[in-house]
Structure 1
């Protein structure tokens, strides 16, 4: 058999990322527990052994999908903003918080299926419990950043920092329920909207010396 004939055998091939994308879509549609390797094989037009060539188990697929979403979110918090325009000192905590909110929106839009799967994790397996621990660590870092912005006086301090963090990311997380790629708003515009709603009501506006509204 010639090399050309050999490459034409079987259904069109999938690489690991292609198989993982189909698996994530199935996990979101049917639930992780209800999705079997056999179901994925049928959907892909591949044999089970072809899937196992790329993944040792269904749990490994879930772990890779959740790690992709979590790593994207963690990178948003870990990547520092550059120094202030005058080159002196670090940027303010509220500016870093805004950058994190914008970055999180971009991660959600760019990895919508994987983030959707992450938000549906309930801790039923060791893989899910590990993902939940990382999510909680991420949440604590956001709360600490909110608290830092309150301490520096750039955010109002009469709302508990953990409540601010939960409400802000509750809004961001809700995007997975209605956002459709290719719609009227891209990631940049959506990030602008989130920042406006999440932060405009929290920023301090000059305190007691602020100009009173005209009656």
Structure 2
């Protein structure tokens, strides 16, 4: 079974309002793909009629928007935290990396869906714009760290920011809730990023 399918199964639970319906929809979007998922698929997965689903959401795009907002709001709340605003550029970057992993662990299906967005709909294009805005702030922090001499000279900030983003986002492919060491994962990832994983050269 793929990681995407497993993420989809994890969000299934009894319905009882808009929140559980959104979780079921996210699971279906991850498992089937957003374009291939119909409202009939969603209502069948939720065990309710389509009209009952429409009582909570105007349609599939509204579900997608709500799910992506949940993931994106978490990222931008993180950027506004004191730890992301105060301290040296590297200290701020480390705070953000730890926070991103914590968000991913707490909101795995929603973050997974965000990372699957390809820009095929208006909502997906909006989400991509938001991701670019977030990444631009990370690139600016990397640039500030280079200028402050905290990162070795010659590092291209935009490339370093992309690599950092890729490392953090790759966690969705292998992380499983309840795995051993999950509580330490955010700090472990930050340590690997900022202290490295290879022994220092003698």
2:192 equivalent in structure 1:
197
Q: Which of these residues, 80, 98, 101, is aligned with residue 102 of structure 1?
A: 98
**1:1-215 matched pairs, under 5 angstroms:** 13-81=15-83, 90-187=86-183, 189-201=184-196
- What SS class does the counterpart of residue 36 from structure 2 fall into? coil
TM-score (norm 1): 0.82
Measure, in 2, the Cα distance between the counterparts of 1:82 and 1:142: 10
Larger Rg: 1
Measure, in 2, the Cα distance between the counterparts of 1:94 and 1:165: 12
User: Mind listing any 5+ residue stretches in structure 1 that lack a counterpart?
Assistant: 1-11, 84-89, 202-212
Q: Displacement, 1:180? A: 0.4
TM-score (norm 2): 0.87
Change (3 A) 1:105 1:214: closer
Moved over 4 A (4+): none
- What SS class does the counterpart of residue 82 from structure 2 fall into? coil
Measure, in 2, the Cα distance between the counterparts of 1:214 and 1:33: 50
Q: Displacement, 1:152? A: 1.4
Q: Displacement, 1:82? A: 8.7
Q: Displacement, 1:80? A: 2.1
Aligned pair count reads 186
Q: Displacement, 1:174? A: 0.7
Measure, in 2, the Cα distance between the counterparts of 1:141 and 1:157: 20
Change (3 A) 1:82 1:22: closer
Q: Displacement, 1:79? A: 1.4
- What SS class does the counterpart of residue 68 from structure 2 fall into? helix
- What SS class does the counterpart of residue 43 from structure 1 fall into? helix
Change (3 A) 1:160 1:46: same
Q: Displacement, 1:43? A: 1.1
User: Mind listing any 5+ residue stretches in structure 2 that lack a counterpart?
Assistant: 1-13
